[in-house]
Structure 1
Amino acid sequence: MCNLYANTLAPTLMRQLFKVRAENDQLGNAEPLTAIFPKGTAPIVALDEDGNRVLRNTHWGFVLPQTSKKTGKPIQPKAVNNARDDKLRSSPFWKASFTERRCLIPASSFCEAKGRNPATYVWFGVSGDTPRPPFALAGIWRSFAGNYGTEYRELTTSSMITTTPNELVKDTHPDRMPAILSPDDYEAWLTAPAEDAFRLIRPYPAERMVIHQQGEDLKSDHGGV
């Protein structure tokens, strides 16, 4: 499970890396995001109705409405921000989005917590020639319109796919890790039939990853690209 990641990429770099035309960049004056938590702003690359790549901001986590057990009234919803790969094709919560609405989630690092009281925060990334080489996580998205706690909201929401961990991540989180996509697979993830896209979900090679930093007081990524 991943409940924290960073995207410190400038919009111009995201447009270049993910082949998004300037007129399809909806991020505006996006600031570096050194700590993205569930319900936070999460930029994605998705396809519009005409099949063009678009950069847009989303609410990180599919909205799952909740009601108070005491009063029966709406309360703040859950943000389901991780989608397990073994549930994508069977769960009604995920299946339609996986089949019809896949996206790339630009990132510069992701964090997993190890232990408790205090936890050690371990920030992972991919290896390369820069301090925080950019990469893309496999994601899905969907629209939400309805009660969000005590107010009505219309949102584009996203969730990242998780898979089994590789040897580097396993020591920190033995069960899951975000699914990192190879650049050669970006187009197929966005456009291929669901069964072909599913085969792209696999642990990223440990030898192509690094630990950027780790410590007890590291709830944001202090690095940059």
Structure 2
Amino acid sequence: MCNLYNLKASARDIGAVFDAIDASGGALEKDYVSPGRPGLVVTQSAATRRLRTMRWGFPPPPGVRNAVVNVRNYHSAFWRSALANPERRCLVPVTSFQEWSVEPDPITGKKKPHWFSIPSRPIFAFAGIWRPVGDDAAYAFLTASYDGDPATHVVGAVHPKAMPVIVDDNDYERWLTAPVEDALGLAVPFPSQLMAVD
């Protein structure tokens, strides 16, 4: 489960990549985003895309303590209305994301952080959803399970449960506007051979 990602790019550069009007109100405090902190998202209404600032993590359902940052069960009633409404879908700009190794290092006894990026795309996007929360707004992003053996995927070899859904540049419009069944067709692991890990 991804709980940390980098966004080492200016709002201007991000807006240019996504053809979005900058309505973010300025730069983020840090060049990384963790749960509960503000992040940038791209929303679309009619034909206009906007770069906005929202908090990462949906308010939790009853009985859950922490904000919910990853969408795993697309059929859950908790996510259904946001997924079904194209105006509540968003793109989450990212420059790299972190997953922790499952097994601790045999020498240090500590789990190791691994950073994943897409060398051909310095700024890429997760498939996200958002909702209003009072006068603010919150977002989360989808994760996808691997087909077959997770160890054959660059991310799955480190974190075998799932990885964030990365939207190809050519599919931004589809994620932001298509009927839900079509949009969820994008919820698959990004091609391993196009990714790099540090």
Kept in 2, the 8 Å contact 1:7–1:32? The answer is no
Kept in 1, the 8 Å contact 2:39–2:54? The answer is yes
* Alpha-carbon displacement from aligned partner over 1:79-138 (angstroms, at most 9, x marks no partner): 100001xx21x211101011111100000000001134512000001122xxx7110110
- Structure 1 residues 99 and 65: CA distance shift in structure 2, 3 A: closer
What stretches of structure 1 of length at least 5 have no aligned partner?
Answer: 68-75, 146-153, 214-225
Aligned equivalent of 1:118: 110
Matches of residues 57-72 of structure 1 in structure 2 within 5 Å? 57-64=53-60
Counterparts of 2:83 and 2:159, CA distance in 1? 24
Counterparts of 2:193 and 2:3, CA distance in 1? 23
Kept in 2, the 8 Å contact 1:65–1:78? The answer is no
Counterparts of 1:155 and 1:28, CA distance in 2? 13
Aligned equivalent of 1:17: 17
Question: Which residue type is aligned with residue 174 of structure 2?
Answer: A
* Residue 89 of structure 2 is aligned to residue 102 of structure 1: yes
Question: Which residue type is aligned with residue 89 of structure 2?
Answer: R
What stretches of structure 2 of length at least 5 have no aligned partner?
Answer: none
CA RMSD of aligned residues (A): 1.9
Counterparts of 2:177 and 2:8, CA distance in 1? 26
Kept in 2, the 8 Å contact 1:10–1:31? The answer is no
Counterparts of 2:13 and 2:29, CA distance in 1? 12
What TM-score, normalized to structure 1? 0.77
Aligned equivalent of 2:36: 39
Aligned equivalent of 1:159: 140
**Pairwise CA distance, 1:34:** 3.1
Whichever of the two has the greater Rg, that structure is 1
**Pairwise CA distance, 1:28:** 2.6
Instruction: Report the secondary structure of 2:155's partner residue.
Output: helix
Kept in 1, the 8 Å contact 2:126–2:164? The answer is yes
Instruction: Report the secondary structure of 1:63's partner residue.
Output: coil
**Pairwise CA distance, 1:20:** 1.0
Matches of residues 1-225 of structure 1 in structure 2 within 5 Å? 1-21=1-21, 25-31=22-28, 33-48=30-45, 50-64=46-60, 77-84=65-72, 87-88=73-74, 90-100=75-85, 101-114=88-101, 115-116=103-104, 117-128=109-120, 133-145=122-134, 154-165=135-146, 167-211=153-197, 213=198
What TM-score, normalized to structure 2? 0.87
- Structure 1 residues 95 and 65: CA distance shift in structure 2, 3 A: closer
Identical positions, percent: 35
Question: Which residue type is aligned with residue 59 of structure 1?
Answer: R
Counterparts of 2:124 and 2:77, CA distance in 1? 29
Counterparts of 2:61 and 2:189, CA distance in 1? 31
**Pairwise CA distance, 1:51:** 4.4
Counterparts of 1:191 and 1:31, CA distance in 2? 27
Tell me which moved more, 165-174 or 154-163.
165-174
Counterparts of 1:173 and 1:127, CA distance in 2? 20
